[in-house]
Amino acid sequence: MIVVAQDVEGLRQAALEIFVQAMEDDALERCLGSIAPDDLAQIEKLLPKKTLAPGYYEQVLYLLWFEDKLNAGITFSEISADEAEGVAALERARQQFNQEHPACPRCSKRVTFRGQKSCMHCHQELR
């Protein structure tokens, strides 16, 4: 049995998936808007597949809340090792996300796939 809060690598992966999913949310909303609301088969095809057990994503959401408070300068009487490692895992996931999906220099929208030559939103050429 794995204690989710102590599985730092799992939390890093879950955080990366959440960042990618957030990036793709707008496109997903548009696709969902174009299909029938009771077409469950189509909806299921569009939904992102989660590679980890549900508990990982819930722990990442807690860590994002916690990190937000730390970034706002709020101090806590004590920070557990799990929380410290978890926040560090978020940062590593964020660095990987930024490397794999850099922002367009003109419109700041994220590159959605590797090797993309121009921005899909403003058509700015990407190096």
Q: Toward other proteins, which CB reaches closer, 10 or 97?
A: 10
SS3 state of residue 110: strand
Kind and range of the H or E element at 32?
A: helix 8-33
Closest CA to 24 of 122, 127, 120, 123: 120
Based on the shown chain and the rule CB under 8 A, indicate whether residue 5 belongs to the binding site for other proteins: yes
Q: Toward other proteins, which CB reaches closer, 69 or 123?
A: 69
The CB density around residue 80, as the number of other CB atoms within 10 Å, is 10
Based on the shown chain and the rule CB under 8 A, indicate whether residue 51 belongs to the binding site for other proteins: yes
Scanning 24-32, 50-58, 92-100, 107-115 for contacts with other proteins by CB under 8 A, the matching segment is 50-58
Helices (H), 34-80: 40-46, 54-71
Between CA 124 and CA 45 the distance in angstroms is: 31
Total residues contacting other proteins (rule CB under 8 A)? 29
Based on the shown chain and the rule CB under 8 A, indicate whether residue 61 belongs to the binding site for other proteins: yes
Residues of this chain that bind other proteins (CB under 8 A):
1-5, 7, 10, 44, 47-56, 58-59, 61-62, 65-66, 69, 74, 76-77, 83
